[in-house]
Structure 1
Amino acid sequence: MKNILLFGAGKSATSLIDYLLTNAPRQKWHITVSDHDLMLIKSKIGKSYYATPAAIDIKDNAARQQLIQDTDLVISLLPPNLHIIVAKDCLQFKKNLLTASYIDPEVRKLQDDIKKAGVLFMYEMGLDPGIDHMSAMKLIHSIEKKGGQIFSFKSYCGGLISPDSNDNPWQYKVSWNARNIVMAGSSGATYKEKGKVKELSYEHLFDHSKIIQVPGLGKLAFYPNRDSLGYMEAYNLQDLATFMRATLRFPDFCEGWNAVVQLGLTEDTHKIQTDQLTYNKWATQHVTPEKQSGPEEMMAQYLGVSTKSKVIRQLKYLGLLSTDVINLGEQTNAGILQFLVENKLKMEPADKDMIVMMHEIEFERRNMATRMHSYMITQGEDNVRTAMAKTVGLPLGIMAKLILQDKVTLTGLHIPVMPEIYNPVLKELEEYDIRFEESFE
């Protein structure tokens, strides 16, 4: 019997847990699911003979380390800042580690030690990052194998609401960690276009939204994502004139979120007392009116829009013009905004989300310039078995199976860009209707 330990039972864990439990009898696995919320764990594992709940405080060293010592493989779906404490334990006890999160500077420092320990730490093994790396590398390697010379690479991905459930002015609902939504883009973005390195600050990220056409969906907006340049070496495309990774949203979202950023409501450093503070006072804290006016007029004036504009409707919908008292104790602006996003943009039980991913690669072969589009659209079932949970969780589950079947000999700190990983994972994902369509121009 092989033991798998999963840290984190939140939104993205549902499909992973389902996959592990479905495979457990045949693969002879036992799964321990650890989270601080026992009821949440039990809601995910049911009464399965093959699963054990472990409700612990992740910062309880003794409890955490005991769980890690007793397992064969660790999967972490914790908030990104907590991965490092799990990673250090996995290194100490020589356990393989899988996570969907980005490789961070702290774990990068352990790179040599991970290799020496002979264990595999596979990061970025979820959706974005994850499926994007695997599908992109399969295309890149295929083009190169046929003698093609790539000169432009653009990759787009977004967790969106399905058109059937798209019923609010934001054209958006929360299908993953709301904190990540609030903080998305806060570090700005760096990418390369036509030979020039472009940098966008957070304040200008959303007002530079551009449009792409996605087959079957029409127009979607995109904004560059983090530091694209860091992946040029990983993809072995260091000499490209254009290289960009970007996030997809429906156009209205970007317009509204740009207003939220301009109002300073995503700041996450200074705490303010909210017990007597109304939402409209909070939302206009940085706005100095040109003349005596109410919050709605002040906000419209500050943003340079009409009081009847779509942006003002969005801000109203989110609750920024409400006279209700916030009453959340001491909070940062981002903390208050997260509370609103979680409550105002939540998915209802029957709502369906949607994952859209598209790669656009321009290359030359036999003196013929070609543009390739490869795209994937995956729909969720409801507000629990979401497309987000599916696309984050299933790659982790498939990777866990490959490791426990001894089909992976790789060691060290990696992201999934190698054929021995992406080929079997992408092949099995197709069984779950996660597949790519291709077109050429």
Structure 2
Amino acid sequence: MKNILLFGAGKSATSLIDFLITNAPRQKWHVTVADQDLMLIKSKTGKSYYATPVELDIKNQSARHQLVQETDLVISLLPPALHILVAKDCLHFHKNLLTASYIDPEVKKMQQEIEKAGLLFMYEMGLDPGIDHMSAMKLIHSIEKKGGQIFSFKSYCGGLISPDNLDNPWQYKISWNARNIVLSGSTGAVYKEKGKIRDLSYEQLFDHNKTIQVPGIGKLAYYPNRDSLAYMEIYKLQEIATFMRATLRFPDFCEGWNALIKLGLTDDSHKIQTDQLTYFNWATQNLEGNKTAEPHEEFVAQHLGVSSKSKVIRQLKYLGLLNGDMINHGEQTNASVLEALVQDKLRMEPHDKDMIVMMHEIEFERRSMATRMHSYMIVQGEDNVRTAMAKTVGLPLGIMAKLILQDKITLKGLHIPVMPEVYNPVLKELEEYDIRFEESFE
């Protein structure tokens, strides 16, 4: 019997754990799930004979080593900064590794050692990054095989709340790691548009968002995501005029988040003392002018250049930023205070359903005819536990694990899923779970 070790049992792990346990009898494998929260693991593994829950402090090297040493394949759904601990263990004990996170500089330094050891470290094997790469490369290869020449590529993805559950002024609820949401976009974005390199700072990102139409959903806002240029070579589209990867949100979210950035509330660089500090005084800490002892929304509105009756002020009030309640969380960064707020105020209720929307827009020329192609995917969650986010992040990892343990993937080295031997079988099996793309042409 093969053994699979999963680090992390958080929001994105639910569907992966379900997949691994459901397939265990037929595939003859056993799953060990390690997390610092034992009760959380047990809530997801139940009483399955094929799953072992393990309470683990990930920084406990000896306990971590013992788990890695005894397994055949490792999957990590830990926070991105902790993957390197697992990656080094996998290299040391000669184990293959799967994760949904971006390739980071530290693991990049290990690339030659991974190849030399004959191991497969497959990063970016989730939703975004993950399904976006696989579906995009399938389209790109198909167009090129038919003689098409691509001159514009745009890819959009967003973890959203279902339109049926849009019951707050943010038009957003938390379906994945709240900290990742708070820090999303903080490094700015670089992309290529009509032959020119565009470099936007964090402060500019949400100020420049535009909109696209998604069939069945309507208008969604987008903002460029990280460093799009890094993928031009990977996608073999170095010469095209436009290349952009972007994040989708309902339009109201972007306007409100822009206000939080302007207030400096997403900063994670230094700590402040929050004991005996009101949310209003915290929210206005970077604003100059006469502050009253009582919350004064006109003061905030003036600095943001909006009306005190505006949607933005309603959003800030919804988070509790304009009241006199005390924070009392000790020393925290602004981002940490905001993380706790959005985790509470924008949480999904048990009946809420989330939604994943992904769209590729590719413009190409074939036989002197210009064509614009849209390929889009919409996935709905079941509730606040079995979410569309968990489904689309976890299932690609589970399917990839199965392919590796069945010896159907012979790839070695440090990779992301852009090759046919990976994307063809994974995308095909995802369709069995209603994760599929529709296409239209103009």
Shorter chain as denominator, the TM-score bin is: over 0.9
Per the alignment, residue 306 of structure 1 pairs with 307
**Matched residue type, 1:176:** W
Residue-by-residue CA offset, 1:100-147 (whole Å, 9 max, x unaligned): 000000000000000000000000000000000000000000000000
- Does 1:50 pair with 2:50? yes
> Which letter maps to 2:330?
G
Q: Over residues 274-301 of structure 1, what are the superposed CA-to-partner deviations in whole Å (9 max), with x where a residue is unaligned?
A: 1100100000001112686953111101
- Other-structure match for 2:113: 113
CA contact (8 A) 1:111 1:413 kept: yes
**Quick one: distance in 1 between partners of 2:437 and 2:405?**
27
Which residue does 1:196 correspond to in 2? 196
The answer for the alignment partner of 1:64 in structure 2 is 64
Question: Aligned AA for 1:118?
Answer: G
Amino acid corresponding to residue 401 of structure 2 in structure 1: A
What letter corresponds to residue 45 of structure 1 in structure 2? Answer: T
| 1:133 aligned residue | 133
Answer whether contact 1:156 1:248 (CA < 8 A) is retained: yes
SS in structure 2 of the partner of residue 362 of structure 1: strand
Alignment length, in residue pairs? 441
Give the CA deviation at 1:340. 0.3
Distance 1:363 1:276 in 2: 59
Equivalence for 2:4:
4
Q: Is the 8 A contact 1:287 1:298 kept in 2?
A: no
Q: Does 1:437 align with 2:438?
A: yes
**Could you say which residue in structure 2 is the equivalent of 1:162?**
162
The one-letter amino acid paired with 1:43 is S
Unaligned regions of 5+ residues in structure 2, if any?
none
Deviation at 1:329, TM superposition (A): 1.1
SS at match of 1:144: helix
Q: Which amino acid aligns with 1:32?
A: T
Q: Which residue matches 2:32?
A: 32
Is 2:360 the counterpart of 1:359? yes
User: Does 1:95 find its partner at 2:95?
Assistant: yes
Contact map agreement 2:41 2:53 (CA 8 A) in 1: yes
Aligned residues of 1:284 and 1:295 also touching (Cα < 8 A):
no
Unmatched runs of 5 consecutive residues or more in structure 1: none
The residue matched to 1:208 in structure 2 has which SS?
coil
Q: Which residue of 1 aligns with 2:150?
A: 150
DSSP-derived class of the 2:186 partner: coil
2 CA distance for matches of 1:117 and 1:157? 35
SS at match of 1:439: strand
- Please state how far the C-alpha of 1:273 moved relative to its aligned partner: 1.1
CA distance 1:235–1:250, change in 2 (3 Å)? same
Q: Contact 2:174 / 2:343 at 8 angstroms: preserved in 1?
A: yes
Rounded Cα–Cα distance in structure 1 between residues aligned with 2:434 and 2:21: 20
Contact 2:7 2:35 (C-alpha < 8 Å) held by counterparts: yes
1:189-232 Cα shifts (integer Å, max 9, x gaps):
00000000000000010010101000011100000000000000
| 8 Å Cα contact 1:173/1:345 also seen in 2 | yes
Q: Could you tell me the percent identity over the aligned residues?
A: 81
Residue equivalent to 2:77: 77
Between the aligned partners of 2:317 and 2:337, the Cα distance in structure 1 is 15
User: How many angstroms does 1:355 deviate by?
Assistant: 0.1
- TM alignment of 1:248-327, pairs within 5 A: 248-289=248-289, 294-327=295-328
When residues 294 and 40 of structure 1 are mapped into structure 2, their CA distance, relative to the original with a 3 A threshold, is closer
CA distance in 1, matches of 2:299, 2:117: 60
Does residue 399 of structure 2 align to residue 398 of structure 1? Answer: yes
Q: Which amino acid aligns with 2:374?
A: H
- Aligned equivalents of 1:188, 1:114: Cα separation in 2: 31
- In structure 1, how many angstroms separate the alpha carbons of the residues matched to 2:31 and 2:216? 39
Distance in 1, matches of 2:98 and 2:270, equals 34
Give the aligned partner of residue 15 of structure 2: 15
Cα displacement string for residues 260-284 of structure 1 (whole angstroms, at most 9, x for unaligned residues) = 0000000001111111001000000
The Cα offsets for residues 358-385 of structure 1, whole Å up to 9 and x where unpaired, read as 0000000000000000000000000000
Answer yes or no: is the 8 Å Cα contact 1:274–1:330 preserved in 2. Answer: yes
1:207 — aligned with what? 207
**Paired AA for residue 373 in structure 1:** H
Q: Which runs of 4+ in 1 moved over 4 A?
A: 290-294
SS in 1 for 2:385: coil
Separation (CA, whole Å) in 2 of partners of 1:165 and 1:22: 30
Separation (CA, whole Å) in 1 of partners of 2:299 and 2:400:
52
TM-score (norm: length of structure 2): 0.99
In the alignment, the residues of structure 2 paired with residue 291 and residue 4 of structure 1 have an alpha-carbon distance, to the nearest angstrom, of 57
C-alpha contact (below 8 Å) 2:295/2:323 kept by paired residues: no
Describe the SS at the equivalent of 2:276. coil
Measured in 1, the distance between the counterparts of 2:221 and 2:128 equals: 17
The match for 1:41 is 41
AA aligned to 2:18 is: D
Contact in 1 for aligned 2:189/2:228 (Cα 8 Å): yes
The 1-side partners of 2:88 and 2:299 are apart by 50
Partner of 2:141, secondary structure, is helix
- Could you say what secondary structure the match of 1:192 adopts? strand
2:123 & 2:323 partners in 1: Cα distance? 42
Quote the Cα distance in structure 1 between the aligned partners of 2:270 and 2:103.
27
Q: Is the 8 Å Cα contact of residues 280 and 295 (structure 2) preserved in structure 1?
A: no
Structure 2 Cα separation of the partners of residues 350 and 405 of structure 1: 38
What letter corresponds to residue 253 of structure 2 in structure 1? F
What CA distance in whole angstroms lies between the structure 2 residues aligned with 1:171 and 1:207?
Answer: 18
Match of 2:228 in 1: 228
* 1: CA distance, partners of 2:291 / 2:352: 43
Would you say 1:345 and 2:351 are equivalent positions? no
Provide the rounded CA distance (Å) in 2 between the counterparts of 1:383 and 1:194. Answer: 41
Asked if 1:172 is matched to 2:151, the reply is no
